[in-house]
Structure 1
């Protein structure tokens, strides 16, 4: 019989990439986590980890076992749903995580609607980046996440997570109010090719999208300033220090003398909802997803 607790340690190693990181997430010592996996390997009579440089990697047997483990986790979610089928009204606690921009325009309004419509349901919101949101789902610390697509996200085929499109968030060109492009209904980004640019910091998930949009328009932007926060970007634009591409979900300070201009070709980023496999039909999660689908079109109008 497979010890499911030891199997969970193996899943954590696969998720976090190292035994040390998995042990930290599970509140184990690295030696205790290693011992759990060694015992699981002895129980099954196969090797689960093999040396790779200074670390270890999963064996083919471990990869095969993980496919079954992910299926077990999904079936467990389904079993829990079946057992609670008579309690169809959303109730209890719903823990939701989301990237910073999603909180004011999607998650906070969603929580207000759920509070009004389902008084027995309590929503807990945590602002996180995409990698942390997936960690929280994996660890069972969140039931629902709103994430932007980044190269660091698990692939859509990952059997542990159910990732579904929520909305496309277009990028607008932001210029000073008195800029020649400010009065245009829509502009080709190539018209801003010779401007000074303000771009996200290099390690921001939005940085590659900004550079890619400019590249698709036929130029590499001359980035003279970098910002982490979109309102910092807006202030730099307001001071005529450059132009910028800003997602429409970003709520910029209304008093600033700047104008958002729509871009030809509508460069955008994709926003997803994500749950653990088998969790999407839980009453509280399903209710939250309905609210998010209703809010999404107006968020980027």
Structure 2
């Protein structure tokens, strides 16, 4: 019921280019440009100004984005109120999340919802190459289970802006804690740490090691950089892999060590050892469930959040 062209403007503000906006909204660039021209004509204001081959939002457009954010918040609240009149919970719930979150909480939560709410279709995606908050903003996902931003990436880290994972006070999103997951060191069987799996090691002892950037490149690598910085050193990252089988193969063949989340499915066929970390700083990966602010009261999303919390509680009761 809100002019959809306002959503296009919001996404352009987030993405920065017409091409990226079109991709996020599954439109063509010409359609995006046409919508914004129409919106500009409707308001009698210039919303875009050219900057080289790209465009940027005018001050009037930036003011309009603030109002649009408020309108979409009220719309989510209205949908939640109206959903209370529906007979039961039905429809579609789309959940996106990092791989270990799918393993640890999303899949068990979705299985619970499938049994309790057969009319609710739950769709799950990992989306490793996509900013999951952009999926929320564009309406392509309803819940995103992510690792929250702890601060700006260290200089020279190669990570993109902090906007890739908005801070917890971003007014467009509600972020609720779900699960805390310990981190281990994954080392080759013959490594100097391999015999200390019972007692553990301090992260500072790994200064000077070669490291593998393992798992989700944005989330897990951000945690590695932050944890090592707190321990007083910068990790020498030599290799990288997302799939944990590939990570384990690199570690087993002596190409480096890595931080491995407790939930990471490391194949047993590789001669690697998990070594717990001890002392301070102790890197712990926190998962949060993020939704568009105001949508958390809609029955499908509310039930989805409750199922995630229940699955996380069961896992923590089992010791991680």
> TM-score if structure 1 supplies the norm length?
0.86
2-side partners of 1:22 and 1:171: how far apart?
Answer: 36
Unaligned runs of 5+ in 1: none
Structure 1 position 85, deviation (Å): 1.0
Structure 1 residues 136, 242: CA separation in 2 closer, same or farther (over 3 Å shift)?
Answer: closer
**The one of 154, 157, 163 aligned to 2:175:** 163
Query: Which residue of structure 2 lines up, in the alignment, with residue 245 of structure 1?
Result: 259
Over residues 17-64 of structure 1, what are the superposed CA-to-partner deviations in whole Å (9 max), with x where a residue is unaligned? 112322344454434432322332232232211222332111221111
* Moved segments of 4+, more than 6 Å: none
Residues 52-67 of structure 1: pairs in structure 2 closer than 5 A = 52-67=51-66
Classify 1:230/1:204 alpha carbon distance in 2 versus 1 (closer, same or farther; 3 Å).
Answer: farther
Unaligned runs of 5+ in 2: 150-161
Task: Report the CA distance shift for 1:27/1:145 in structure 2 as closer, same or farther (over 3 A).
Answer: closer
Matched, 1:278 2:294: yes
Confirm or deny: 8 A CA contact 2:217 2:242 kept in the other structure. Answer: no
2:200 to 163, 177, 186: 186
Seen in structure 2, the aligned counterparts of structure 1 residues 37 and 226 have a Cα distance that, compared at 3 Å, is closer
Q: Note if contact 2:215-2:244 (Cα within 8 Å) is conserved in structure 1.
A: no
CA separation of 1:176 and 1:17: change in aligned 2, threshold 3 A: same
What secondary structure is seen at the aligned counterpart in 2 of 1:273?
Answer: strand
Q: Which moved more, 1:36-45 or 1:55-64?
A: 36-45
Superposed CA deviations along residues 233-269 of structure 1, whole A, max 9, x for unmatched, are: 2233334544321122212123444332222232133
* Per-residue deviation, 1:216: 2.7
In the aligned structure 1, how far is the partner of 2:63 from the partner of 2:110?
40
**SS class of match (1:253):** coil
Change (3 A) 1:38 1:272: same
Aligned to 2:282: 266
SS across alignment from 1:108: helix
Which of these residues, 303, 317, 320, is aligned with residue 287 of structure 1?
303
Distance 1:294 1:256, change over 3 A: farther
- 1:77-156 equivalences under 5 Å are 77-87=76-86, 89-129=88-128, 131-149=130-148, 151=162, 152-156=164-168
Judge which range, 3-12 or 216-225, deviates more: 216-225
Q: Distance in 1 between matches of 2:20 and 2:255?
A: 42
Residue 33 of structure 1 corresponds to 32
What are the Cα deviations for residues 263-288 of structure 1, in whole angstroms up to 9, with x where unaligned? 22321333221111211111121112
- Which of 176-185 and 135-144 deviates more? 176-185
- 1:46-103: per-residue Cα shift (whole Å, max 9, x none)? 2211222332111221111111111111211222222221336332221111122222
2:186 corresponds to which residue?
174
Cα distance between partner residues in 2 of 1:25 and 1:64: 22
Alignment TM-score, normalising by the size of structure 2? 0.81
**What root-mean-square deviation, in Å, do the aligned CA atoms of Structure 1 and Structure 2 show?**
2.8
Q: 1:256 to 1:289 in 2, by over 3 A?
A: same
Residues 271 and 190 of structure 1: CA distance in aligned 2, closer, same or farther (over 3 Å): same
Contact 1:71 1:159 in 2 (8 A): no
Q: Please give the alpha-carbon distance, in whole angstroms, between the structure 1 residues aligned to 2:23 and 2:187.
A: 46
Corresponding residue SS for 1:261 = strand
Secondary structure of the structure 2 residue equivalent to 1:119: coil
Question: Using the alignment, how far apart are the partners of 1:172 and 1:246 within structure 2?
Answer: 5
Contact 2:81 2:298 in 1 (8 A): no
